[in-house]
Structure 1
Amino acid sequence: MWQPNQFRLLDTGVHSAAYNMALDEAILMRVGAGEAPPTLRFYAWDRPTISIGYFQRVDRDVDRSRVNARGFSLVRRMTGGRAVLHDKELTYSVIVPGDHPLAKASVVESYRQLSQGLCEGFIELGVHAEVVSLAQESERAKYATLGSAACFDSPSWYELVVEGKKIAGSAQVRAHNGLLQHGALLLDLEPDDLFDVLTFRSEAERSRTRKEFDERAISVRQLTSREITYEQAAAAFAKGFAKGLDLELIPHAISAQEHQDALHLMEEKYTNDSWTLRR
């Protein structure tokens, strides 16, 4: 019997955008059904990918012709938030059943708790991030932005920032009788790639928003001048989650059923325009 502080640790490595999103949902389904334990997963992307939030309108926020011209992937997440360029990063997901303390907590409180694990992970990499709370209006005003389609131009309720700049972006959903939070941990950053494929009302707006983005987001490489590998980052954040949330992480593998569920979700949902272009 798995205890609340015992999590299955999965490192699923590099996969396509559709499979990555499908596997997060497949694991959520099995965890929510009580057929898999609480899970911390790390993964990466087989090519640069724009992931858009559940509520975003693709044709308003993303230039699909530029996405295709660059050879990027485009996928819609089941979580909310704004567009993210997944490339030089470590991506994580935390998945727990509905009766787990993290799921019983409010959205804001669960973000706060999970941010402690992320914070400790950055410390393992030599980056002293801090958790920013935007619960007060004065703090929200400090981080107010132009409101672009890009995720990393402003922190959410509890986000990780270094020197006032966002270094991690997370999104959460409660579905399938469970909680899923996943996010991007920036090892390096190529803003030109992101801003080339987002749409703006004018080039002046693109330029203004890009300038603001540069003032709001930062990566591990920019802070440390070090090239951190995926493997180094995964090891650091495993230690960080274990310390920050007082977890026992047990290395494991996805089940055959989770893999089959993910393949089904890929075909029926995440590679299907009826999902990707639904808004």
Structure 2
Amino acid sequence: MHGEFKVPGGKLVVVDLEASDGVITDFRLSGDFFLEPDEALQAINDAMRGVETTTDARALAAHIQRSLPADAVLVGFSPDSIATATRRALHRATGWSDYEWELVHPGPLPPLTHLALDQVLTEEVGEGRRKPTLRIWEWNEPAVVIGSFQSVKNEVDPEAAERHGFRVVRRISGGGAMLMSADSIVTYSLYAPGELVQGMTFADSYAFLDEWAVLALQSIGIEASYQPLNDIASPAGKIGGAAQKRLGNGGVLHHVTMAYDMDGDLMTQVLRIGREKLSDKGTKSAAKRVDPLRSQTGLSREAIIERMIGTFGELHGLTPGEITPEEYARAEQLVAEKFGTDEWLYRVP
């Protein structure tokens, strides 16, 4: 069995193992990481033989840590990343290059259609009817998009939202509220098979699925990095946040919204961002917490999106695709039956 895990911002960790009767019988660790002393590699390999294949990632990492010599130095990887690669080997996980990725980038769509398409396209990938897909969103209507488990009244000031023309809608993924308006954000969705993140913790999968975006931002001069659990940030402040939903049919939705040209005052009027939300962010101002891409780069929104698409294609391959009429029709059905209903919007009042 073979498993790989590219540590976001770090090195590639590769595990080749054999197992029999629920126990690892042979284990070989390799990669482009740095490890001292040399004997530490053999110590890890020896320690992993005899470990039960059902051992979870946390326990594997602890076991690996205990096996290391006292003077061991690991650079570019960690016991956690070895554990992740091991779990991916045992689950026969796939990599980016195992798939043909498609790009869909239609023109502006209504907010509810965007949310419904996220469900439809994730289902289609999970069922194997659609290739894994990167979708870039375009907006021409203002909206507040709240997370699946958020309370409407706790997150949004309804009078301010109505006064400024923002419709409140709810997505299928968790996470926080986002203020969306034309030319102010960069949003993308990844629709992937579950095998791509097999064996990863949720925290690992967030960083793994967005490493290409961080590299794209770095290529245009932003000191971007991933901040657990789900933020893309720079020294100047937060750039954007990710959210994820995994469906029962194996499809994975991972989407990110980044601020391009944010109106901080408007955001604090429409969204209720309390002290508790900011308590661990090192700032007392919600408006100052986020730093838009426009101010950091001076580039147009279109130029940033072009660089992101180019980076994804260079790393993983990308061919043009289209959303089918059948997928659009299913999305509009979901708007009528689910996303556009009060039952869905106020499922958490």
Whether TM-score is above 0.5 comes out as yes
1:68 Cα offset (Å): 1.6
Q: Aligned AA for 1:262?
A: A
The answer to whether the 8 Å contact 1:27/1:258 transfers is: yes
Separation of aligned partners in 1, 2:283 and 2:235: 19
CA deviation string 1:98-148 (max 9, x = no partner): 3x323553311211112211112212433231223xxxxxxxxxxxxxxxx
Q: Secondary structure at the match of 2:231?
A: strand
Separation of aligned partners in 2, 1:212 and 1:252: 41
CA deviation string 1:72-118 (max 9, x = no partner): 121101011111112201110001123x3235533112111122111
The answer to whether the 8 Å contact 2:259/2:290 transfers is: no
Structure 2 residue runs of 5 or longer lacking an equivalent are 1-95
| Pairing of 1:11-26 with structure 2 (within 5 A) | 11-26=105-120
Aligned match for 1:79, one of 165, 170, 173: 173
1:29 Cα offset (Å): 1.1
Cα 1:269–1:261 change in 2 (3 A) is same
Q: Indicate the RMSD between aligned Cα atoms, in angstroms.
A: 2.4
Aligned match for 1:162, one of 206, 211, 234: 234
CA deviation string 1:206-249 (max 9, x = no partner): xxx9942234211112213x2513x3222111123234xx3111
How many pairs are equivalent? 245
Residue of structure 2 in register with 1:97 after alignment = 193
The answer to whether the 8 Å contact 2:230/2:243 transfers is: no
Task: Specify which structure has the bigger relative contact order, considering alpha-carbon pairs within 8 angstroms and separated by 6 or more residues.
Answer: 1
Q: Secondary structure at the match of 1:13?
A: coil
Q: Percent identity?
A: 29
1:66 Cα offset (Å): 1.9
CA deviation string 1:182-210 (max 9, x = no partner): 111221111212211124789xx9xxx99
The answer to whether the 8 Å contact 1:8/1:250 transfers is: yes
Aligned match for 2:222, one of 123, 127, 133: 127
Q: Aligned AA for 2:316?
A: L
Q: Mean Cα displacement is larger for which, 212-221 or 53-62? A: 212-221
Residue of structure 1 in register with 2:308 after alignment = 237
Residue of structure 2 in register with 1:136 after alignment = none
Residue of structure 2 in register with 1:173 after alignment = 245
The answer to whether the 8 Å contact 2:191/2:254 transfers is: yes
Cα 1:199–1:157 change in 2 (3 A) is closer
The answer to whether the 8 Å contact 1:116/1:241 transfers is: no
Larger Rg, first or second structure (1 or 2): 2
Separation of aligned partners in 2, 1:42 and 1:70: 25
Residue of structure 2 in register with 1:35 after alignment = 129
Structure 1 residue runs of 5 or longer lacking an equivalent are 133-155
Tell me whether 1:6 sits opposite 2:100 in the alignment. yes
Q: Secondary structure at the match of 1:37?
A: coil
Residue of structure 2 in register with 1:268 after alignment = 337
The answer to whether the 8 Å contact 1:51/1:75 transfers is: yes
Q: Aligned AA for 1:250?
A: T
Separation of aligned partners in 1, 2:217 and 2:165: 31
- TM-score by length of structure 1 reads 0.80
Q: Aligned AA for 1:272?
A: T
Separation of aligned partners in 2, 1:259 and 1:210: 42
Residue of structure 2 in register with 1:187 after alignment = 260
The answer to whether the 8 Å contact 2:273/2:286 transfers is: no
The answer to whether the 8 Å contact 1:41/1:92 transfers is: yes
- TM-score by length of structure 2 reads 0.65
The answer to whether the 8 Å contact 1:42/1:92 transfers is: yes
